[in-house]
Amino acid sequence: TILKLIANGRIWIDTPEGPLLGYGRIELLEKVKLTGSIRQAALAMKMSYRQAWYLIDQMNTRAGSPLVNSKRGGKGGGQATLTETGEKAIMIFKNFNKDFQEFLQERSKKIIL
């Protein structure tokens, strides 16, 4: 019998200092854009605020220019917005990932055990 195998994989985009973008980080950026809040984005992802803030701080530092601008809360709560660089990062990751998934799909056709 011939067993058809399927290539699978996930991508990360790193800097020399370490990870910059991956599936979870892109989801976090998208949730920040959607909610306008790091806290709300964290809640939506079932992640602690501290973890979300850490990931965003790490991305902002490693990207060389911020992906997210945030203002601390006060009476009305804080606010977070994606920068132009943040929007570009999402687009770059999604385009790269689309190409990667197409590559895996194409290569899978040639993997037969």
> Structure tokens of 55?
């990931």
Contact indicator for 59, 68 with CB cutoff of 8 Å: yes
**pLDDT tops 70 at residue 74:** no
Average pLDDT, rounded, for the chain:
93
Residue found by looking up tokens 């929007």 in the block: 87
Inter-helix orientation angle 23-35/84-108, to 10°: 140
Q: What is the pLDDT of residue 109?
A: 87
- Considering only the C-alpha atoms of the chain, give the largest distance between any 2 of them, rounded to a whole number of Å: 67
Q: Categorize the per-residue pLDDT at 71 as very low, low, confident or very high, splitting at 50, 70 and 90.
A: confident
The model's pTM: 0.89
Tens-digit pLDDT profile for residues 24-63: 999 999 999 999 999 999 999 999 999 999 999 999 999 9
